[in-house]
Amino acid sequence: MRRKLPLASDHLLKLSEWIASAETQSDWSHPLKAFVKAIEAHGEIDTKDTALRLSLSDVARLFRNSHSKDLPKLAHQIEVVLGATAVVAAAPSAQAQTPRQSSGTDPTQPAPAGSPHVLVRLKQFLGIVPDD
């Protein structure tokens, strides 16, 4: 995969299924960067090719959820080819439009800190707490 091979969509489908079926995705065990370059060389994926689009979106999701720092970048490159980033950016989510419900106290107000039952002798010595 070192050369720019003109891989067809069925080749990319088989490669993406192979990568997605692996227990872990790493560049050590799979040619991930070369795979993403092959996807980019293939060009925009046709909307009628649903099997390839689903398989590539699964691979992108796996890359995005990976603990490796390089794989989310590769996921972004796959999503750009799929056109997913344009769809996500164009349609803001319903969560972004609704105001959040407050859970708990108001963070702008000062809250009591510490417990009155901790370091009682020190507090009594410093005169913070009255002697009992």
pLDDT tens by residue, 24-75: 887 788 888 888 888 888 888 888 888 989 999 999 999 888 888 888 898 8
Distance CA 11, CA 50 (A): 14
Residues near 110 by beta carbon (within 8 Å), at least 6 away in sequence: none
111 within domain boundaries: no
Number of domains, the chain: 1
Q: Quote the radius of gyration of the chain (alpha carbons, Å).
A: 27
pTM exceeds 0.85 for this model:
no
22 within domain boundaries: yes
Domain of 77, in residue numbers: 9-90
107 within domain boundaries: no
The residue type of 110 is P
Residue 84: pLDDT band (50, 70, 90) is low
123 within domain boundaries: no
